[in-house]
Amino acid sequence: MKFGNSILLSALMAATALGGIAHAQDGEKQYRFVMVSHIGSNDPNMGWLTKSMEEFEKKYPNVKTEYISTNNYSVQEHVRLLEQAISTQPDGIAVPIVSSDAFEGPLRKAIEAGIPVVAFNIPDGRPEGERIPYLTYVGGDEYLTGKKLGEYALEKAEAGEIPKPTHVVCASHDSAHQGLKARCAGMKDAMEKAGAKVDELFIGAEPATARNTLQSFLQANPDTNYIFTVAGWSSPWAWGVANEMKLDPDVDDKGVTVLTVDEGPVSIEGVRAGHVLATNSQGFWLQGYAPMEWLYWNKEFGYAPQSNILTGPVIINKDNADKWAELVRGVFGDKAYDEQNTW
């Protein structure tokens, strides 16, 4: 596997469940697939993608993969990297559709030139027939992230392990982010079926402002007993505000219940500490591996998936959080893991 722009590697993940190590055969077709990503080496989540691509190469030694990204992200820079990759005429491309408008031109040009494309992590959200004609999308579903977490909480409430929801606040740091709004919408649909009121609250990304905004909301709405933070790093802020207000935010059958997202260290450690009921994984490892497999099967056999391939959400709770902590430490490294745990 080849890396662009200072990509770092550490130990490999455990062997893929899809099979053992294969060996290239004489005369076998050789392929080169490129992942053009928005997740740079300053983001530990890159490790999920690059390690899974290494595992792919072990299974398919006649394929070389390349990971290209930038640490100084901008849509314009991403498009530049994409156009640069297309100019090298790879046998396949995997790319998140960060901007449908900006990516449409270069990707349609690549597809028309016979280069298959798989979208990963972020799909083209436009209707079928209007979107970029990539083979498939491999990644999570933000609406389902909120909905499944809400449904999980309701199961626990029915079991008497946590309070039944009366009023849920979805705390978001970016009011314009469609993915975050989808998470809130999923939570709303799950909770309103159970009779709970749901409000979306813009708290911002600055800690003091976010804490003050959330505190004001909880004071004005004393019936609120669930807080859903749509970023893992804001979950300690929510727990801290509720704790200072003596609202009993730890996971038990009274007080306030906190839910959050992502398989990052702060989310997982929040669950392990009993501060957060549950979080989720969007299946980053599969988002690196599965696009490479579909590109291979398309080139080798002409196969094309007939639907999107969802890699999440996977619920992370007290029963599996220890295992997730072990997995994430293996990918992030102990130093980065501990630095991101802000509890």
Q: What percent of the chain has pLDDT over 90?
A: 82
Burial (CB count <10 Å: 0-12, 13-18, 19+), residue 292: buried
Q: How many residues does the chain have?
A: 343
Angle formed by the axes of helices 46-59 and 321-332, to 10°?
Answer: 80
Query: What's the rounded Cα separation, in Å, for the pair 172 and 105?
Result: 32
Indicate if 148 and 236 belong to the same structural domain: yes
Full-model pTM: 0.84
User: Are 173 and 95 within one domain?
Assistant: no
Task: Specify whether the CB–CB gap between 174 and 205 falls below 8 A.
Answer: yes
| Domain co-membership, 108 together with 154 | no
In a domain, 243, yes or no: yes
Single out the residue of 263, 248, 245 nearest to residue 332, CA to CA.
263
Same domain for 115 and 223: no
Confidence of residue 25 (pLDDT cuts 50, 70, 90): low
Say which residue, 17 or 115, is predicted with more confidence. Answer: 115
DSSP code, position 233: G
φ, ψ at 67 (rounded to 5°): -115, 120
Q: Is residue 1 part of a domain?
A: no
Same domain, 193 and 157: yes
- Tell me: do 94 and 212 sit in the same domain: no
Count how many domains the chain has. 2
Asked if 172 and 220 sit in the same domain, the reply is yes
**Could you tell me if 116 and 163 lie in one domain?**
no
- Model confidence at 9: pLDDT above 90: no
The CATH number of the domain holding residue 211 is: 3.40.50.2300
Are both 198 and 243 inside the same structural domain? Answer: yes
Omega of the bond leading into 313 within 30 degrees of 0 (cis): yes
Half-sphere exposure of 279 (CA within 13 A, CB side): 31
Residues 172 and 69 in one domain: no
Asked if residue 46 belongs to a domain, the reply is yes
> Which DSSP category does 179 fall into?
H
For 14-24, the pLDDT digits (tens) are: 333 344 445 55
pLDDT digits (tens, 9 = 90+) for 222-255: 999 999 999 999 999 999 999 999 999 999 999 9
Proportion of the chain in helix, strand, coil states, percent, rounded to 5: 40, 15, 45
- Round to whole Å and give the CA distance between 146 and 178: 13
Tell me whether residue 3 is in a domain. no
DSSP E strand boundaries for 260-313: 279-281, 309-310
Q: Which H or E run contains 194?
A: none
Asked if 60 and 112 sit in the same domain, the reply is yes
Q: Does the structure show a pLDDT above 80 at 7?
A: no
pLDDT in tens, 159-182: 999 999 999 999 998 887 778 899
Average pLDDT score over the chain = 92
Q: Provide the pLDDT confidence category of residue 267 given band limits of 50, 70 and 90.
A: very high
The tens digit of pLDDT for each residue in 117-151 reads 999 998 998 998 999 999 999 999 999 999 999 99
Same domain, 183 and 251: yes
State the pLDDT at residue 4.
64
Range of the domain at 199: 142-278
Quick check: is 4 in a domain?
no
- β-strand partners of 95: 119
User: Whose CA is closest to 227, among 168, 174, 186?
Assistant: 168
Phi-psi region of 154 (alpha: psi -120 to 50; beta: other; left: phi over 0): alpha
CA distance 156 to 263: 20
Q: Is residue 12 part of a domain?
A: no
